Amino acid sequence: MLTLIRGRTFRTIDAAVLFLLAAFAAAGVAHAFAAPAAGDLGYDIYDIVVNQGVKGPLGFVGGVAAFLFGVSRLFSNIMIGIPTIVAAVCLIKADSILQTFGMVI
């Protein structure tokens, strides 16, 4: 797609290069997520929600139940089945995903 800007043709590739330059210029320092230590503000909430909930038996049972629900919906409605299975796997592997997002690149 070509459009005329002040006598010069502006192509899609020019827009992509401009976007990449802006992205590199705006890139900052990556900050990794660190779990709060015992005694810190919010540690009790983090412990109940993350350690005992998501990483614990509640998260595992919820992930397996969502996985089975997704498999049962896979044959009748694939548009509900596949996202449910992906969400269930994300719930089961939430601690690994959190560590990956916290990795400094």
Domain spans in the chain, listed from the N-terminal domain onward: 3-101
Average pLDDT on 74-88 reads 90
What pLDDT score was predicted for residue 9? Answer: 60
Q: Residue 28 in 3-state DSSP? A: coil
Distance CA 101, CA 34 (A): 11
Q: For residue 9, what are the β-bridge partners?
A: 4
- Going from the C-alpha of 48 to that of each of 9, 25, 41, 91, the distances in angstroms are 58, 40, 13, 16
- pTM greater than the 0.75 cutoff: no
- The mean pLDDT value of the chain amounts to 77
pLDDT grade for 32, boundaries at 50, 70 and 90 = low
What pLDDT score was predicted for residue 1? Answer: 46
The CA-to-CA distance between both ends of the chain, in Å, stands at 35
